[in-house]
Amino acid sequence: MSVSARSAAAEERSVNSSTMGQQKNLEGYVGFANLPNQVYRKSVKRGFEFTLMVVGESGLGKSTLINSLFLTDLYSPEYPGPSHRIKKTVQVEQSKVLIKEGGVQLLLTIVDTPGFGDAVDNSNCWQPVIDYIDSKFEDYLNAESRVNRRQMPDNRVQCCLYFIAPSGHGLKPLDIEFMKRLHEKVNIIPLIAKADTLTPEECQQFKKQIMKEIQEHKIKIYEFPETDDEEENKLVKKIKDRLPLAVVGSNTIIEVNGKRVRGRQYPWGVAEVENGEHCDFTILRNMLIRTHMQDLKDVTNNVHYENYRSRKLAAVTYNGVDNNKNKGQLTKSPLAQMEEERREHVAKMKKMEMEMEQVFEMKVKEKVQKLKDSEAENLGKEQEEREDLLNPLLTTSYVLVANMPAWTSVFVGSV
């Protein structure tokens, strides 16, 4: 290119530097169209992670639904049902499982909340859940603020499936309270559990009532993103019309008209899990796993996590005093941070050293003791052997000595 053209181009570029840049037409095949493939290969190698939380009263079919969604027995039938573990307080339990499909690995973490809503007095039963979610955010925040952040495990809850009991009337006060407190922290997807209790008309009415109450209380459930694609938008709109999704879970296979389907067998018919007219399970599965999993993770990262982070940091800088549990890892300068990390590292090493020394000493003691024992044993054995050898000698020598006078007399006699 001639000098003038280059400078003109530079001018253009500087003018457009604030915008995205001019769209230029390429005159040949450059090859960065291969970029998605590279990303694909890298992601597949790295594997994916997803954390899913299920909340709801016991007996609503949460475990069955998870098993149906992922087609594995994450909760085996021997898993103690809630009847065996009615607890006084709500627990938060997590279980990890690694599933593979088509060469793609998914590390799935399921967070369960047994005991939620089961007691007679359910005030603050949402507190353990909130604490759990916050603690995961805090872990990630600390990991992000470290100087050395090669490994950042992501345990943040990316999606919360909230199970609504199919009463047919509306949301219970407990449902509303829970969702109000958690809609700013996690993506909430409300589901109507055991939807085979409701006829289609009852279901419609129930859904309408629920959506009305959700809007009334200004609860922000997970919103499906609008895309530029017309086709996709139509699909998204269809999903939005059917919120909240009414699901039925089952892993038992039943024969219906010669086909093998998953469903529940009643005397009056079979409720099929994967039949779109019977329940919204397929929609949920497609949405959660096939199309919107990445979006859920993005929203968690960009919206919920950022909210948490800004609130946390704003609180610290406002007060000027460190009032968070981790002593100001976020406010020190990198050098001080490095110093501290080094100190931490050294302290850890020292501790390990001490521990090893202790173990070493213990082992030495044991060995010494063993040696002593075996020595004593050997001594004992030797003694015995010696005695065994000596005894006959001794006895013979005694005999000889005892008979000495006799011999001497004989000797003398013969001399």
Q: Which is closer to other proteins, CB of 148 or CB of 257?
A: 257
Question: Which residues here bind other proteins, judged by CB under 8 A?
Answer: 57-60, 81-83, 86, 118-123, 165-170, 172-174, 177, 194, 196-197, 199-200, 205, 209, 264-272, 275, 277-278
Q: Which is closer to other proteins, CB of 27 or CB of 201?
A: 201
Q: How far is the CB of 177 from other proteins (least distance, A)?
A: 6
Q: How far is the CB of 81 from other proteins (least distance, A)?
A: 5
Q: Which is closer to other proteins, CB of 32 or CB of 266?
A: 266
Closest CA to 97 of 115, 121, 79, 85: 79
Instruction: Give the separation between CA 121 and CA 117, rounded to whole angstroms.
Output: 8
The Cβ of residue 282 has, within 10 Å, a number of other Cβ atoms equal to 15
Q: Which is closer to other proteins, CB of 122 or CB of 158?
A: 122
Q: How far is the CB of 74 from other proteins (least distance, A)?
A: 18
Closest CA to 117 of 60, 69, 170: 60
Q: How far is the CB of 99 from other proteins (least distance, A)?
A: 27
Q: Which is closer to other proteins, CB of 84 or CB of 100?
A: 84
Q: How far is the CB of 168 from other proteins (least distance, A)?
A: 5
Closest CA to 75 of 85, 64, 90: 64
Q: Residues 84, 86, 91, 96: what is their CA dihedral angle, to the nearest 10 degrees?
A: 20
Q: How far is the CB of 212 from other proteins (least distance, A)?
A: 8
Instruction: Give the separation between CA 191 and CA 2, rounded to whole angstroms.
Output: 65
| Whether the Cβ atoms of residue 189 and residue 295 lie closer than 8 Å to each other | no
Q: How far is the CB of 242 from other proteins (least distance, A)?
A: 15
Strands across the sheet containing 269-272 = 253-256, 259-266, 269-272
Q: Which is closer to other proteins, CB of 271 or CB of 293?
A: 271
Tokens matching residue 87: 């607890």
Closest CA to 163 of 213, 220, 219, 113: 113
Q: Which is closer to other proteins, CB of 58 or CB of 187?
A: 58
